[in-house]
Structure 1
Amino acid sequence: MSNADLVIRGGKIVSPEQIIDASIAIADGRIVAIGHDDLMPSAREELRADGQYLLPGAIDSHVHFRDPGYPHKETWKTGSAAAACGGVTTVFEMPNTNPPTGTIEALRLKQKAAESSYVDYGIHGLLGDDTIDRLEELLDAGVTSFKAFVGNTFGNLPAPSDGALLEGFEKLAPLGIRTVVHAENSSIMARRQHRLEEAGRIDPLAHLASRPAVAEIEAIGRVLTLAEWTGARVHIAHHSAADSLFVLRAAKLRGVDVTVETCPQYLLLNTNDMLRLGGILRLNPPIREERHNQPLWDALMDGTIDMIATDHAPHTPEEKTRESIWACDCGFPGVETQMPLMLTEVNRQRATLMDYVKWSAAAPAKAWGLYGTKGVLAVGAHADIAVVDMDRRAVLSQGRLQSISKISPWNGRTVQGAPIHTLVRGRFVMRDGQLVSEASGWGQSVKGVQRMPTPRARNTEHYISAVLKTPEGVPPTAVPADLSAFEGTGFLPPAPKEAA
């Protein structure tokens, strides 16, 4: 066998099905051999991984890198550096930047910003009332997928009307493109927040009171109804409530192509933490009562929830610590802390390492059309690898985050299990726990390797694109040219008599 660029020897390779002792050889950014150490080719470089685990790099389908528009909160360089140091090798970035990613011009600005990325990336374009006619051209220009803000969040982008959402799904269903949906009912939330502010409530729990679980239940149900009718693929972002899981379970049983993510904050935090941390924990959907935590774990285990994402949403400390909860910006950094938090729960036997690989890599790779190239350690796949030490103990520190946002609800939390090396297409972007600064700009768009499965559009004869045209054999006017047959029937007044 010809020489490799790198051989990682002595590690344990993790997939959703098994953990095996094997070495990995890498050449030209891809895995070229997996097997017994003695069978590996010679290589320019070797890495010993004895006692360590080799995981497919995490794929985070929900990050906000704030660039363009809000570089004081985050940039592509700092956000992707955080991803690299968190064992995340691919991110999908959200469109609520400034300008929003709903035009070719805005997309070009984002693509330019992404040239500094340490990790590979997809870009979610904006699905809104005024972008419906541009969806195809955004796809052609490099967008991988779309996001619909059915619930309002940072940036205050208007929620698409139901008519626009339906038409957007009609356009995307035949293409097989998946749309991320922030599923909360904006009307409910706006009215309740107004009422709470009028009543003078500015406490942390007022935010939760303004966004009850019913807002999530209703919005998910509405979105799934439109997706099922059209055959569109949808993805429910940051699922937070136990109460809405029944809607998802029923839809999946009916065969609706819906994938679902939740985040560490909804699994591990609750209103007890909100009372302790205040505005630091303000995010959308809100942190909920403790009774929601375990059902979300159960939903991950039974497949109702498919994957882990972070909703990495950085802001400055000043923007997170204002007196009124309504004045605190929503979200906090998460892409760097997700893996240690989840590995800690694996060490606590709440799930297996194989479960974690399914949630963090395999499932998102399948949802976004990347599986086989990414999301798995196999010959021919990209060498996107997180080398993990399951025994490494640390205390998370917001001051040491790569993100510009040096404020985190995880600050001071003890973790066990962490990525110590991260490779993106065979190149170290984090090594021995340290960012490899020369790797800035190594990341590239996944658009070129994205292969969505065959689409399954439904009810196409009712799509607006179909009914805009008059069917063959049907007169183009609803009124017959000869009206004499209707005279005197009550449908038409009698014809006027000619004057004598």
Structure 2
Amino acid sequence: MSLRPDVDLVIRGAKVVSPDHIFEASVAIAGEHIVAVGHDDTMPPARQELSAKGLYLLPGAIDSHVHFRDPGYPNKETWKSGSAAAACGGVTTVFEMPNTKPATGTVEALNLKLKAAESSYVDFGIHGLLGDDTLDRLDELLEAGVTSFKAFVGNTFGNLPAPTDGALLEGFEKLAPLGIRTVVHAENSSIMARRQDHLVKAGRIDALAHLAARPAVCEIEAIGRVLTLAEWTGARLHIAHHSAADSLYLLRDAKRRGVDVTVETCPQYLLLNTQDMLRLGGILRLNPPIREQRHNQPLWDALMEGVIDMIATDHAPHTPEEKTRPNIWDCDCGFPGVETQMPLMLTEVNRQRASLMDYVRWSSVNPAKAWGLYGTKGVIAAGAHADIAVVDMDRTGVLSQGKLQSISKISPWNGRAVQGYPLHTLVRGRFVMRDGHLVSEAAGWGKSVKSVQRMPKPQPKNTEHYTQAILTTPEGLPTNALPTGT
């Protein structure tokens, strides 16, 4: 097979990282795609070259969980600023959440979001809202560009009502035959609301009151509930921001039974705990909450075991004023994370808590597989999109909230020493960050991944009991034989 005689870029002398190997190779890129990976002598002439000797090429990170706040909250973040943060963090694809204003539960709201996303530096998917009042619009939302759905079973920013169990089951029934995955914020809203009311009346406004309102049982109960509904219908499920050691057994057992459930955790649940909450207060308020130290290592172990599949960030920016109020209940939940995830995790790789191959599996390969993108994204190979993070594992530094691309210049990682940085980020062959600096001309380069999304064949179950099925008279049974009311 002959190579093209002229390509746009050759990255020379790098170490290419896959989930199974690290090997020395050069990479040739033509247009948006990788056209060759191999020995440097086999590379075609290129219009541009990048020497990457001593550096690592990672498939760009895919963050399944970001809030870019646009439309509705431009004081907190915009698509341009949030995607700039992603680009500078080695993240080449994001999946954005629906709790904007308006929430992404109608085609009109989706179109507003897609318009805002025209300024994105990186590629993106859009999670639509699954709720009681959106069930009749799931098909049209998918047709209009939604890639997946999100159900806020637990209360969070935007105060969207949790779907009833009946609506959640019916939503899974609709999506299971389509093979569409649903993200679930798995906390029990009823327990949390009641406990928070007790705490407020008791005068608890301290940082740990937030954890007291949302104990691990909220996560255990909600995960068990949504796993039951997903397993019964055959729907694909994704558990967002997993935080507790106590609920891992549910996921481990479900995966052993063959339930199609994927799970994300975030750096904050791996690396921070209540001691940091006491130190930082409302800066660390988020949902689910930062928990006790005993949860940290089991989450690492679950990543290594494969019970937890991936790293996401729950990038959830707010203004500094909104994060530093003296009353914990008045502090908005969440903080920026899409720009700091990679250096934080590479630092742990340097500390030998995991390998660089493990990190690629968690940050890119498994998310690509979960969202039907693998082969096009999540891999450095001929034919794939040229989504690449060029990483220096030796570079050291200190994270600074003042230097974040996000509008939200407040971070619990401020002042944290790290080793391992993305130096260059390419999205479909174009530099969006180069030499550690945002390439401002690349704003708007990002595209929806909807057109390249290819989910595996769906495997719905118990379809004869789906809501739509029971509305039809059973074949061969006369209507006068059916029970009637009294």
TM-score bin, normalised by smaller chain: over 0.9
Matches within 5 A, 1:295-314: 295-314=298-317
SS of residue matched to 1:190: helix
The aligned residue for residue 138 of structure 2 is 135
> Kindly tell me: are residues 320 and 470 of structure 1, through their superposed partners in 2, closer, same or farther at Cα, counting changes over 3 Å?
same
What does residue range 391-430 of structure 1 map to in structure 2 within 5 Å? 391-430=394-433
Question: For 2:359 and 2:142, how far apart are their aligned partners in 1?
Answer: 31
Q: 1:353: how far off?
A: 0.2
- Amino acid in the other structure paired with 1:282: R
**Equivalents in 2 of 1:478, 1:299: separation in Å?**
53
Among 316, 319, 334, the residue aligned to 1:331: 334
1:480 Cα deviation (Å)?
8.7
Alpha carbons of structure 1 residues 163 and 24: separation in structure 2 relative to 1, 3 Å: same
Q: Could you tell me how far apart the structure 1 residues matched to 2:460 and 2:207 are?
A: 44
Q: Deviations over 1:86-118 (max 9, x none)?
A: 000000000000000000000000000000000
Letter in 2 for 1:157: L
CA distance in 2, matches of 1:166, 1:3: 54
- Matched to 2:414, the amino acid is N
| Partner-residue secondary structure (3-state), 1:430 | strand
Corresponding residue of 1:349: 352
Q: Deviations over 1:275-310 (max 9, x none)?
A: 000000000000000000000000000000000000
Task: Quote the Cα distance in structure 1 between the aligned partners of 2:320 and 2:273.
Answer: 21
- Write the distance in 1 (CA, Å) between the matches of 2:155 and 2:105: 16
Distance 1:237 1:297, change over 3 A: same
TM-superposed deviation, 1:430: 0.1
C-alpha distance in 2 between matches for 1:18 and 1:36: 16
State yes or no: 1:245 paired with 2:248.
yes
- 1:34 equivalent in structure 2: 37
SS at match of 2:247: helix
Amino acid at match of 1:22: A
1:26-425, aligned counterparts within 5 Å? 26-425=29-428
Distance, in Å, in 1 between the alignment partners of 2:363 and 2:304 is 13
Deviation at 1:400, TM superposition (A): 0.3
Deviation at 1:478, TM superposition (A): 5.7
* Number of residue pairs aligned between Structure 1 and Structure 2: 483
Amino acid at match of 2:252: R
Structure 2: which 5+ runs fail to align?
Answer: none
Match of 1:496 in 2: none
Partners of 2:440 and 2:483 in 1: CA distance: 75
**Paired residue for 1:486?**
none
Deviation at 1:208, TM superposition (A): 0.1
Which letter does structure 1 place at the counterpart of 2:301?
A: D
Q: Letter of the aligned partner of 1:419 in structure 2? A: P
Aligned match of 2:461: 458
Alpha-carbon offset, residue 42 of structure 1: 0.3
Query: Aligned letter for 2:380?
Result: L
Hey, what's the Cα distance between the residues in 2 that align with 1:374 and 1:319?
A: 36
Partner amino acid, structure 1, of 2:238: H
**Corresponding residue SS for 1:204:** coil
Structure 1 residue 479 displacement after superposition: 7.1
Deviations along 1:179-219, one digit per CA (max 9) or x if unpaired, are 00000000000000000000000000000000000000000
In the alignment, the residues of structure 2 paired with residue 476 and residue 327 of structure 1 have an alpha-carbon distance, to the nearest angstrom, of 58
Q: Residue 389 of structure 2 aligns to which amino acid in structure 1?
A: A
Q: SS where residue 218 of structure 1 aligns?
A: helix
For 1:470 and 1:210, the matched residues in 2 are separated by 47
Which has the greater radius of gyration? 1
Of 10, 23, 40, 1:7 maps to 10
| Residues 364-407 of structure 1: CA deviation (Å, up to 9, x unaligned) | 00000000000000100000000000000010000000000000
Query: Equivalents in 2 of 1:98, 1:355: separation in Å?
Result: 37
Structure 1, unaligned runs of 5 or more? 482-491, 493-500
Q: What amino acid does structure 2 have at the position aligned with 1:294?
A: Q
Q: CA deviation at 1:345?
A: 0.1
Task: Map Cα deviations across residues 216-248 of structure 1 (whole Å, 9 max, x no partner).
Answer: 000000000000000000000000000000000
Equivalents in 2 of 1:249, 1:350: separation in Å? 21
Measure the CA separation in 2 of the matches of 1:40 and 1:26.
Answer: 10
Q: Which residue type is aligned with residue 287 of structure 1?
A: I
> 3-state SS of the aligned residue for 1:406?
coil
* Pairwise CA distance, 1:476: 2.4
Give the direction of change, closer, same or farther, for the CA distance of 1:479–1:237 in structure 2 (3 Å limit): closer
Pairwise CA distance, 1:429: 0.0
Pairing of 1:475-494 with structure 2 (within 5 A): 475-477=478-480
- Note the C-alpha offset of 1:474: 2.2
User: Secondary structure, in 3 states, of the residue corresponding to 2:36?
Assistant: strand
Counterpart AA for 2:127: H
C-alpha distance in 2 between matches for 1:373 and 1:272: 42
Specify which of 443, 466, 470 is matched with residue 467 of structure 1: 470
What secondary structure sits across from 2:92 in the alignment? strand
Give the TM-score normalised by the residue count of structure 1.
Answer: 0.96
Mapped to 2, the partners of 1:17 and 1:480 lie a distance apart of 60
Q: For residues 461-490 of structure 1, give each alpha carbon's deviation from its aligned partner in whole angstroms, at most 9, with x where no partner exists.
A: 000010011112223246799xxxxxxxxx
In structure 2, how many angstroms separate the alpha carbons of the residues matched to 1:387 and 1:441?
21
Alpha-carbon separation, structure 1, partners of 2:31 and 2:324: 47
Alignment-derived partner of residue 438 in structure 1: 441
CA distance in 1 between counterparts of 2:137 and 2:39 reads 51
**Do the aligned partners of residues 399 and 478 (structure 1) sit closer, same or farther apart at CA in structure 2, a change above 3 Å counting?**
same
Hey, what's the Cα distance between the residues in 2 that align with 1:232 and 1:354? 30
The one-letter amino acid of 1:370's match is L
Q: Secondary structure at the match of 1:311?
A: coil
Q: Aligned-pair distance for 1:28?
A: 1.3
